[in-house]
Amino acid sequence: MLTARILKALFLYAIALPAMAAEHVQSTASYEAAIGNLSTAPSYVMVTIADANTGLERQTCTTANFLAGAIHFEYGLGYDHAGLKRATELALSNTSHRFVFTKQAALNNVSIEFTPQDLRDVRTWLAPVSNQELMAGAHPWTDRDTPYAGRRYRSAVACVLIERGLSPYMADLTGQVVVAGSKDIPVHAPSQAPAQH
């Protein structure tokens, strides 16, 4: 009985993934700026990752350097000037921001760590905060004391910020998600997070 319920849940989860693939789109300017950011504080991109082996796809946010790494793995590109240039060209020419990968190393480089429920929780958590407050305030939700500690939530936070028209990047020393133009202050969020599911 339990096995049947688990299989049904997995089946419903699997067929729901493609439906969520293009829920939001990052602006062209934000996406191109993220791809062009070669600093030690990489910008986030919102992309759809499709696994050609399983047919599953889902929208996620990852740093542009991780996306470039996945492109390198998929196409067997080197890390010399020519390989870096080609990876950038492939990323920029993909105007749909949907990437189909066949190689496991490429898929692993842009693995999706947050769940759809995590994303909904982060949206709820940040909903009361205006974009102006997001640009001006600070709250390190990645600290161990917060309910949203850990790398998987950073990507979910980045997705919510991109959905709201902002351009987040990862701070090079702390790994926190920072909004471009916010004077390098980590994003503000309410101190009380929604209940975990």
Which of 14-18, 76-80, 82-86 is the least confident region? 14-18
Q: Are strands 168-170 and 98-101 parallel, antiparallel or unpaired?
A: unpaired
Q: For residue 137, what pLDDT is reported? A: 54
Q: For residue 182, what pLDDT is reported? A: 57
Per cent of the chain over pLDDT 90 is: 54
Residues 6+ apart with CB under 8 A from 159: 24, 44, 46, 59, 60, 61, 119, 122
User: How many CA atoms lie within 13 Å of 15's alpha carbon, on the beta-carbon side?
Assistant: 5
pLDDT interval class at 134 (50, 70, 90): confident
Asked if 135 contacts 182 with a C-beta cutoff of 8 angstroms, the reply is yes
Q: For residue 133, what pLDDT is reported? A: 78
In the predicted structure, residue 2 carries a pLDDT above the cut 80: no
Per cent of the chain over pLDDT 70 is: 73
In the predicted structure, residue 165 carries a pLDDT above the cut 80: yes
Dist CA 144 CA 24 (whole Å): 30
Which of 61-75, 102-116, 135-149, 157-171 is the least confident region? 135-149
pLDDT interval class at 145 (50, 70, 90): low
Q: For residue 76, what pLDDT is reported? A: 97
Dist CA 195 CA 15 (whole Å): 26
Q: For residue 19, what pLDDT is reported? A: 37
Q: For residues 165 and 179, which has the higher predicted lDDT (pLDDT)?
A: 165
In the predicted structure, residue 153 carries a pLDDT above the cut 50: yes
Q: For the segment 15-52, what is each residue's pLDDT rounded down to a tens digit?
A: 333 334 457 889 999 999 999 998 999 999 999 999 99
Q: For residue 9, what pLDDT is reported? A: 35
Which own/partner pairs from 4-9 qualify as long-range (CB within 8 Å, at least 24 positions apart)? none
Q: For residue 180, what pLDDT is reported? A: 76
